[in-house]
Amino acid sequence: MSVEKSTKKARGTAACENTNIELLKANDYVADIIRKQMTTSNTLLINLTSSAGSGKTTLMQKTAERLKDKLNMAVMVGDLETERDADRLKEAGIQASQIVTGGICHLEAQMVHQVLDRFNLDEIDLLFVENVGNLVCPASFDLGEDYRVTLMATTEGDDKPKKYPRMFLTSDMMLISKSDLLPHLPFSSEAVIKDSKEVNHELEVIQISSLTEEGVDEWCEWLLEKVQQKQEAKVL
């Protein structure tokens, strides 16, 4: 590579890095606004992340089924195209709104903030943001959430925590999803838990299946506890 080309490449890389830094700063500014809105409305915000096809939408349906008589729940759904997941949730009786990113592989705080007025937050106890299926880009963007929950599907292989450490480092909970398939797959729950704990020793873990309902009670109890804690903090 010539000196001229090398210099141009270095300048381009520096410009890209500066752009990314400014983008994340702007994102964090909006995320703080969202966080304050959630505090004012006393709404618990969960950022739900995973690879594509891990079972996020099905889990939302099962969660709503269990908690509909205990909490007011709503979901924002992020996808590159179509409103199919939001339609599925609406059919299940969940208040849902789709965010179509048009090719962007993650949700940003500004995208979430722009659609918050579709909801009456004062009437919502628990709001999920179902992020775009991707273990890379969503890890870098704070959405103003109280907690980040990442699904680790048994169909993906058990080596993901070390391959995509930032996602697991920034998460509070890991759900090992589709656990009903474990007898049929070369997937080790012990290995994925070990690797994820080495990345983030504070990470909570639940093994879960929306089909057999393994772990669903524990998951819903965790949500109820976090909602209660936020409501009690508001009173104080």
The predicted-structure confidence for 159-193, as pLDDT tens digits, reads as follows 999 999 999 999 999 999 999 999 999 999 999 99
The predicted-structure confidence for 73-121, as pLDDT tens digits, reads as follows 999 987 655 567 777 877 877 888 888 777 778 899 999 999 999 999 9
| Residue-level pLDDT at 81 | 57
**What is the rounded radius of gyration, in angstroms, for the C-alpha atoms of the chain?**
19
| Residue-level pLDDT at 235 | 62
CATH number for 100: 3.40.50.300
Mark residue 60 as left, alpha or beta (left: phi above 0; alpha: psi -120 to 50; beta: remaining): alpha
Going by C-beta distance under 8 Å and a sequence separation of 6 or more, which residues neighbour residue 88? 57, 61
Distance CA 115, CA 97 (A): 8
The predicted-structure confidence for 116-162, as pLDDT tens digits, reads as follows 999 999 999 999 999 998 999 999 999 999 999 999 999 999 999 99
Phi, psi dihedral angles at 118 (to 5 degrees): -75, -15
| Residue-level pLDDT at 98 | 84
Q: How many CA atoms does the CB half-sphere of 61 hold within 13 Å? A: 15
| Residue-level pLDDT at 68 | 86
The predicted-structure confidence for 42-86, as pLDDT tens digits, reads as follows 999 999 999 988 999 999 999 999 998 999 999 998 765 556 777
| Residue-level pLDDT at 95 | 87
On average, the pLDDT of the chain sits at 88
| Residue-level pLDDT at 210 | 95
In this prediction the pTM is 0.88
The predicted-structure confidence for 5-24, as pLDDT tens digits, reads as follows 333 333 333 433 455 888 88
**Based on the structure, what is the number of domains in the chain?**
1
Q: Residue 233: which pLDDT band, with cuts at 50, 70 and 90? A: confident
Domain residues for the domain of 51 are 3-235
